Structure 1
Amino acid sequence: MTATLEWSYELLSPEDQWLLASLSVFPAEFSVNAVAFVVGQDVNWDRPDHQQATLDKLISLTDHSLIQPVPKENSEEPYFTFLGLVREFARAKLAPDVLASLRQRLLLYYASWDEKAWLAAGTAGAKLWLVRFQNDFPTIRFVLDTFTAQASADPDIVGNVARLLTQLTEWKASGQWRLMLQATEWVLAQPVALPDMLYWRVLYTAAGIALESGALEVAEAYIQKATPLAAKLPIKRAQIVTWHQQGILASIRGDHPESLRAFQQARALYEDPEFVIEKRSYYLAATLGLLGTACFFLGQLEQAERYQLESLKLEEANGDTAGMAGTYHNMARTYIGQGRLTQAQEALSHSVRLRLQLQDQSGLVRAFAVYAQLALANANYESFVLFTAALNRRRTEQGSVP
């Protein structure tokens, strides 16, 4: 087999030999965009003509049966992978320092998604980025594992790990909370002073992971560190989402009056004409949704519904599929509390449909809980037992789902 690979390798041009060897930096499937950035190291890597040139080179390697295309039903972006033992053969052609340099390029590639992915969050473009995260997650995980395996005093490496990590929280990272927690702790433990904005984002990320996993004291400690830092930042959304986390923490602890107060503090920030908020309607929709949740737990169901409807209207205008899924879910709970069971069924059906589109497994598990509540409200005890059993089974399977 090795002799056959060597023979095929010798048939390649020097340029294609370098390309094949460099592709071995990818531990899993790779996209044309990733190859153009990481291997081509081209400042114009995202230009259509440059991407086409990269695609042509990859197709040339497929003609030599060294790599093969990978069909992706959920993506128009071409992906490829190695055949058999070719990856190990190709990697042996790379000097260790070259491999290390390419791995740093790979980290930089995913860190560079940062701003574009954030701008897409809460818009119709969010689904495209979610698909990219899902398709590339095996490689993203490899990158995080590689760079957090040992300490680093390199500010570029630590900063890029932090930029990548904070994206994963925004996009929920397919429920990979353990991986995210390990990477967050690694970033915070390194002897590197991060810029204030990035440091705040890491603290915010750490608090979010702790909230999701139920480590409330840990979450509180991170929120306390993040709060004064957020107040100093020119990016005003930092103050809003830090108030959000304070309210969520209070809600989990059962202090719903304090939760409502925190969300009201966030809401008041939108009234300041000098308080410029990037993606204002996206964050306002989130704030209104959280206010609705706080009112729901306080038994203020009419006010909860009003906030939820306002939030839904903004999310629909923004094309925020994930936001709409969450709001429909919460509206279903509100309608159950009001005894409006038909509307509850309709809202929950909308939520599940959207979560299926997003492949949001955690959200679907939460839907089982509301279906169980709805069955109980309808005195359908057989369905209640079935949904409760399904809920417990899925929670066991996913482990960290609250």
Structure 2
Amino acid sequence: PAASLLATSREPLRESGEYVYRVPSLAVPAEDNQDIDDVLRYGAVRLFVSRARAAEPRYVPDIRVTAATTAICRHLDGIPLAIELAAARVAAFGVEGVAARLGDRFHLLTGGRRMALPHQQTLRATLDWSYELLSEPEQITLRRLAVFAGGFSLEAATAVVVSHDLPASEVPDCVAGLVSRSLVSASASELSMQYRLLETTRAYARERLSESGELATFARRHAEYFSALFERGNTELGARPVTEWMAGYGKQIDDVRAALGWAFSPSGNAAVGVALTIAAVPLWTHLSLMEECRGRVDQALASLEPAAGRDRRREMQLLAALGAALMYTKGAVPETRAAFARALEIADDLEDTDYRLRALWGLWVHCMNASDVRQAISLAERFSRIAAHSTDLLASPVGDRMIGFALHFLGKQADARRHLARMLDGPRPSVHVPYIVRFQFDPWVTARSRLATILWLQGHPDQALATAQRGVDEAVALNHAVTLCNAFAQGACSVALLTGDLEAAERFVTVLLEYSERHGLAFWRADGRCFRSVLLIKRGDNVRGLDMLSATLDELSKTPFHTRYDPFLAELAEARCRAGRAPEGLATIDWALERAAATDGRWYVAELLRIKGEIVLQLGAPNAALAAEALFRESIDWAQRQDALSWELRGATSLARLWHGQRRGSQARVLLSAVYRRFTEGFGTADLIAAKALLASLR
């Protein structure tokens, strides 16, 4: 009676007193794990290395070989037999050759040990043996579950696999049987059980499904299920917190990809693919997978019927999604404008207010990014007129944001601040997901970030820093990459550099680059590289910073860029002067001033004029001091007209320094002290510290 028996089996024995321990697959490293020492500690990798060395003594797990090894172990789900069979093939194909052939794993993974049981000598034989031991309903269920690429619920499985020969009432028992035989893995989530097939089992089951002639039927059923799921899910966007919505829908991305792969294949159904593409746009948007979204939407548009027979509403929806994706992957290119313009044309014809607003927003962003500020104002005003008659009470505040941004770049800071403050002080959504989907990022968070720059311009450095940080905190809470990049680029990075807080700037720029690179957001990655260059320059590494900034701006000059181009040109000009290349610096500033005049992007003109004055002084031509003084005075005049006290302080500091050198200290002190006294905060920031030091030397 006290005897204990340890038995291994593919399924529970169902004996009295039995305790079941499910032996998991060997551990595999995460896909982003680049630490070779850590990778080699994982059980799956250690087994592969051991067996590969036995088969091929020249096998050495260097960086490249280890990367291929870990990819193999991941694709084989850490299954020991599969790993042993794969390692045995290293002698014939090399590690990278084995990795490349895993798509045909059942032909590749043969040749097990001679002393092994027949069903353990090849991977296919092992799975054949397991499959033949299943009941017919279990076999049907297993092969139909192969259409799922990721995890699935029992509800999803039932909806997809049922048919006349497999009633819904039998599916739960069949899934339970497959779990007990270790052909389907099960895990408990917060709300329900989740199931999945290991990749190797899925590949085998898919072969069986194809052989049965049912692949097209159930691949379509799978695609239609997820199309309906996301159409239903998108109606919940305004009712569920973002974390809850993403927990329910974010994990379905692999199945969306698999379904679209089938739908647009030669044996698929393009109409099903179009419907799923439109339904999945909110998912891609919230995951910030804009490059993937662009590719899928392009594919769907290409599949539409000729113009006379196509569904115009679906075309409008796809065009709006394409414009949004292009905006953040390609920038202000003609294709972006064309997509939004065509979407607006169809929305006008269909009298669809929602998509009118989406298209106008997209065209406005395009114009702002292309520095066409006057046209942006016109679009923002049209948006506001339509929003005023919309049933969406939060559309009008977005119009305020649009007008406020455009006014800011025109140099009308007081008016801009009033519009943004009205938006931020008014109603805002309790759930932000629908607005992120409609506008590609959260308009309220990004309005706060831009307000931070305006506050700095108006002479409120401490408020600017606090507002920028609040914008970052709100963006982090939303956990949305495009919103986060907006918050860092438009507020946090800019304000940190303007105030001279280089440590904060370092943190913010690092995060901006990390997120923009991870999510393929070329628009913001360019900003990040420019900010990184400026940071290097301000830390004293002028050579490296100048080279990086020059290269990035040269690259961007070939494409329509955006309204933050002027500050980077100003930094480039100053860096060239520090490098002893003042004539180049002057040419850069002149180009920036010409560009500002052409685009009406006047917000940086005061600073450009001040920098030009400093460069003129450095060049030392005859009458350089008079020319510089005129430029400094013009800079101060522009700053005063724009209610930009911080630009005024910089201009006054430059002019006071010039006068000090000319022994006009009394005039310098009167000028600078009058501006300095108007500040009520920010006395620990770089510009105010410099002004205070100069005032002390003027006594």
In the superposition, the TM-score normalised over structure 2's length comes to 0.49
1:66 is matched with: 183
Looking at structure 2, the residues matched to 321 and 219 of structure 1 have their Cα atoms a distance apart, in angstroms, of: 20
Q: Which AA in structure 1 matches 2:260?
A: L
Q: Aligned match of 1:231 in 344, 348, 360? A: 348
2:240 is matched with: 124
Q: Which AA in structure 2 matches 1:104?
A: R
**1:52-91 equivalences in 2 (<5 Å):** 57-70=174-187, 72=189, 76-83=191-198, 85-91=200-206
* Residues 74-107 of structure 1 deviation map (CA, whole Å, 9 limit, x = unaligned): x634322224632233223224531111111122
* Residues 235-262 of structure 1 deviation map (CA, whole Å, 9 limit, x = unaligned): 4312221221221111111122322321
SS in 1 for 2:214: helix
With over 3 angstroms needed to count, the CA separation of the structure-2 counterparts of 1:302 and 1:355, relative to structure 1, is closer
1:242 is matched with: 359
With over 3 angstroms needed to count, the CA separation of the structure-2 counterparts of 1:28 and 1:116, relative to structure 1, is closer
1:372 is matched with: 493
Looking at structure 2, the residues matched to 191 and 336 of structure 1 have their Cα atoms a distance apart, in angstroms, of: 44
SS in 1 for 2:208: coil
Q: Check the 8 A contact 2:230/2:280 in 1, yes or no.
A: no
Q: Is 1:197 equivalent to 2:319 in the alignment?
A: no
2:207 is matched with: 92
Looking at structure 2, the residues matched to 203 and 398 of structure 1 have their Cα atoms a distance apart, in angstroms, of: 21
Looking at structure 1, the residues matched to 466 and 449 of structure 2 have their Cα atoms a distance apart, in angstroms, of: 8
Looking at structure 1, the residues matched to 203 and 239 of structure 2 have their Cα atoms a distance apart, in angstroms, of: 41
Q: Check the 8 A contact 1:223/1:245 in 2, yes or no.
A: yes
Q: Check the 8 A contact 1:333/1:344 in 2, yes or no.
A: no
SS in 2 for 1:194: coil
SS in 2 for 1:25: coil
Looking at structure 2, the residues matched to 388 and 120 of structure 1 have their Cα atoms a distance apart, in angstroms, of: 35
With over 3 angstroms needed to count, the CA separation of the structure-2 counterparts of 1:291 and 1:316, relative to structure 1, is farther
* Residues 148-172 of structure 1 deviation map (CA, whole Å, 9 limit, x = unaligned): 344x8x8xx3333223223343341
Q: Is 1:27 equivalent to 2:149 in the alignment?
A: yes
Looking at structure 2, the residues matched to 136 and 287 of structure 1 have their Cα atoms a distance apart, in angstroms, of: 34
* Residues 11-58 of structure 1 deviation map (CA, whole Å, 9 limit, x = unaligned): 43322221111111122333334323222379xx9xxxx8x9855643
Q: Please identify, of 223-232 and 348-357, the stretch whose mean Cα deviation from structure 2 is larger.
A: 348-357
Return the offset for 1:281: 3.5
With over 3 angstroms needed to count, the CA separation of the structure-2 counterparts of 1:310 and 1:100, relative to structure 1, is farther
1:15 is matched with: 137
SS in 2 for 1:376: helix
Looking at structure 1, the residues matched to 317 and 199 of structure 2 have their Cα atoms a distance apart, in angstroms, of: 41
Looking at structure 2, the residues matched to 346 and 168 of structure 1 have their Cα atoms a distance apart, in angstroms, of: 36
**1:3-402 equivalences in 2 (<5 Å):** 3-40=125-162, 57-70=174-187, 72=189, 76-83=191-198, 85-96=200-211, 97-150=213-266, 157-171=269-283, 172=285, 174-190=287-303, 192=305, 193-213=309-329, 214=331, 216-272=333-389, 277=391, 280-281=392-393, 283-284=395-396, 286-298=398-410, 299=413, 300-309=415-424, 313-316=427-430, 326-339=443-456, 340-369=460-489, 370-392=491-513, 394-402=515-523
Q: Which AA in structure 1 matches 2:314?
A: L
With over 3 angstroms needed to count, the CA separation of the structure-2 counterparts of 1:234 and 1:353, relative to structure 1, is same
For structure 2, which runs of at least 5 residues remain unmatched after alignment? 1-119, 524-699
SS in 1 for 2:287: helix
SS in 1 for 2:428: helix
Equivalenced residues, count: 383
Looking at structure 2, the residues matched to 94 and 282 of structure 1 have their Cα atoms a distance apart, in angstroms, of: 50
SS in 2 for 1:79: strand
* Residues 94-131 of structure 1 deviation map (CA, whole Å, 9 limit, x = unaligned): 24531111111122122213432332334435544333
Q: Check the 8 A contact 1:355/1:364 in 2, yes or no.
A: yes
Q: Check the 8 A contact 1:395/1:401 in 2, yes or no.
A: yes
Q: Check the 8 A contact 2:400/2:420 in 1, yes or no.
A: no
Return the offset for 1:68: 1.0
For structure 1, which runs of at least 5 residues remain unmatched after alignment? none
2:89 is matched with: none
Q: Please identify, of 53-62 and 182-191, the stretch whose mean Cα deviation from structure 2 is larger.
A: 53-62
Identity %: 18
Q: Which AA in structure 2 matches 1:379?
A: G
Q: Please identify, of 86-95 and 18-27, the stretch whose mean Cα deviation from structure 2 is larger.
A: 86-95
What RMSD in Å do the two structures reach over aligned CA positions? Answer: 3.4
Looking at structure 2, the residues matched to 228 and 356 of structure 1 have their Cα atoms a distance apart, in angstroms, of: 36
Q: Please identify, of 317-326 and 139-148, the stretch whose mean Cα deviation from structure 2 is larger.
A: 317-326
Looking at structure 2, the residues matched to 194 and 116 of structure 1 have their Cα atoms a distance apart, in angstroms, of: 24
Q: Please identify, of 88-97 and 213-222, the stretch whose mean Cα deviation from structure 2 is larger.
A: 88-97
Looking at structure 2, the residues matched to 292 and 54 of structure 1 have their Cα atoms a distance apart, in angstroms, of: 57
Return the offset for 1:173: 5.6
Q: Please identify, of 117-126 and 101-110, the stretch whose mean Cα deviation from structure 2 is larger.
A: 117-126
Q: Please identify, of 117-126 and 254-263, the stretch whose mean Cα deviation from structure 2 is larger.
A: 117-126
Looking at structure 1, the residues matched to 476 and 362 of structure 2 have their Cα atoms a distance apart, in angstroms, of: 27
Return the offset for 1:65: 1.3
Q: Please identify, of 358-367 and 135-144, the stretch whose mean Cα deviation from structure 2 is larger.
A: 358-367
Q: Which AA in structure 2 matches 1:90?
A: A
Q: Which AA in structure 2 matches 1:163?
A: A
Q: Which AA in structure 2 matches 1:82?
A: L
Q: Which AA in structure 1 matches 2:297?
A: T
Q: Please identify, of 223-232 and 379-388, the stretch whose mean Cα deviation from structure 2 is larger.
A: 379-388
With over 3 angstroms needed to count, the CA separation of the structure-2 counterparts of 1:89 and 1:397, relative to structure 1, is closer
Looking at structure 2, the residues matched to 306 and 229 of structure 1 have their Cα atoms a distance apart, in angstroms, of: 34
Q: Which AA in structure 1 matches 2:234?
A: W
